[in-house]
A and B are shown apart, each in its own frame.
Chain A
Amino acid sequence: MDDLENRLRRALERREPPASFRARVYSARARRAEVPRRRIWLGWAAAFASLVAVGGGVAWQHERNIQERAAGEVARQKLELALKITKTKLRDIGRQIESVQENN
């Protein structure tokens, strides 16, 4: 193994996705998986007693709610941060413009 190959390994080493990535995947899964999941549950419901289907449905819904809530909280925090930064920057710019205009 030569020096160039070592350099290549360092340059191409794995990097972590953004912190929000997992939440985005869960959120997208919750949205997109709804239809296939329903089909699966319908199949089960036809094969087993309605009690099993209802119990399973409740558990699945519960799991989905938890995941969606986590993803939603992350999204809300990000939205608030984004709006805060936007507000701050626009206010700073507005103040600077006003200050220049007052000086003139």
Chain B
Amino acid sequence: MKFGALFICLSIAAAQDIHLPPGLERLADKASEVVDVTLDASMLQLAVRFLPDKDPDSARVKRLVNGLSGIYVRSFEFEKPGEYSASDVEALRSQARTPGWSRIAGVRSRKKGENAEVFIKSEGGKISGLMILAAEPKQLTFVSISGFIRPEDLPELGGHFGIPKMEQDSKSGREDN
């Protein structure tokens, strides 16, 4: 089955109850750069009102955001490796251990010490959330998008990001060693 088929006829935007692990805030103290974005539904609606009207990209972003109920991004960049622990990553990953979530892609490079995973939340065959966890030696990034994502809006989230191939990967748990 093509992965893209999963995105057909999505109609709800079920809100995720994101509770970031408290330990995450501690990482901010160690990080040299921190990105902290929390946009709930009302902030998203406010944001799209201030996108430029005549920009074609704006129209696509508006369409995408229209179905979303929240976007949360936490990204920490460190001066040196080893500033975050496996338990920090696990605490973030545990957000996707709740019912409805499944891991659709994962890449790992032992050489580079990188590990990235993509999760989606589906309810009744509909996608109601997307989560990305990317751990690199000096950077840890967590993205959680809650709400309804239509297939035609996927390019706004980074093209199709190799979706047809991702299905294969999700089965094999592919690793790049």
Separation of A71 and B49 alpha carbons in the complex (Å)? 11
CB-CB contacts of A13-24 with B at 8 A, as 1s and 0s?
000001010001
**Dominant SS among interface residues on chain A:** helix
Q: A89-B116, A98-B162 given as contacts; is B174 within 8 A of A79 (CB)? A: no
Separation of A62 and B29 alpha carbons in the complex (Å)? 40
Separation of A101 and B168 alpha carbons in the complex (Å)? 10
Q: Specify which of A75, A83, A90 is in contact with B161 (CB 8 Å cutoff).
A: A90
Q: Is B44 an interface residue (CB 8 A)?
A: yes
CB-CB contacts of B150-177 with A at 8 A, as 1s and 0s?
0000001111111101101100001010
Q: Specify which of A82, A89, A101 is in contact with B134 (CB 8 Å cutoff).
A: A89
User: Is B43 in contact with A27, judged by CB distance below 8 angstroms?
Assistant: yes
Which bracket fits the contact residues of B? Answer: 35 or more
B interface residues, Cβ below 8 angstroms from A: 35-39, 42-44, 46-51, 61, 65, 71, 73, 75, 105, 107, 109, 116, 118, 132, 134, 141, 143, 145, 156-163, 165-166, 168-169, 174, 176
User: Is A100 in contact with B73, judged by CB distance below 8 angstroms?
Assistant: no
Q: A82-B73, A85-B35, A97-B169 given as contacts; is B46 within 8 A of A72 (CB)? A: yes
CB neighbours (8 Å) of A73 from chain B are 50
User: Is A69 in contact with B50, judged by CB distance below 8 angstroms?
Assistant: yes
Separation of A100 and B109 alpha carbons in the complex (Å)? 10
Q: Is A78 an interface residue (CB 8 A)?
A: yes
- 14 A-B contacts, Cβ less than 8 Å apart? A18-B36, A31-B42, A71-B46, A75-B39, A79-B47, A79-B65, A86-B157, A87-B157, A88-B158, A94-B159, A96-B107, A97-B166, A100-B169, A101-B165
User: Is A94 in contact with B161, judged by CB distance below 8 angstroms?
Assistant: yes
Q: A75-B50, A85-B75 given as contacts; is B38 within 8 A of A96 (CB)? A: no
Separation of A92 and B73 alpha carbons in the complex (Å)? 17
Q: Specify which of A79, A87, A97 is in contact with B165 (CB 8 Å cutoff).
A: A97
Q: Is A59 an interface residue (CB 8 A)?
A: no
Q: How far is the CB of B82 from the nearest CB of chain A, in Å?
A: 21
Query: Given A71-B46, A79-B44, A89-B116, 18 more contacts at CB 8 Å?
Result: A18-B36, A18-B38, A68-B46, A69-B50, A75-B43, A78-B43, A79-B47, A79-B61, A82-B143, A83-B156, A85-B141, A86-B145, A89-B141, A90-B132, A93-B107, A93-B132, A96-B116, A97-B169
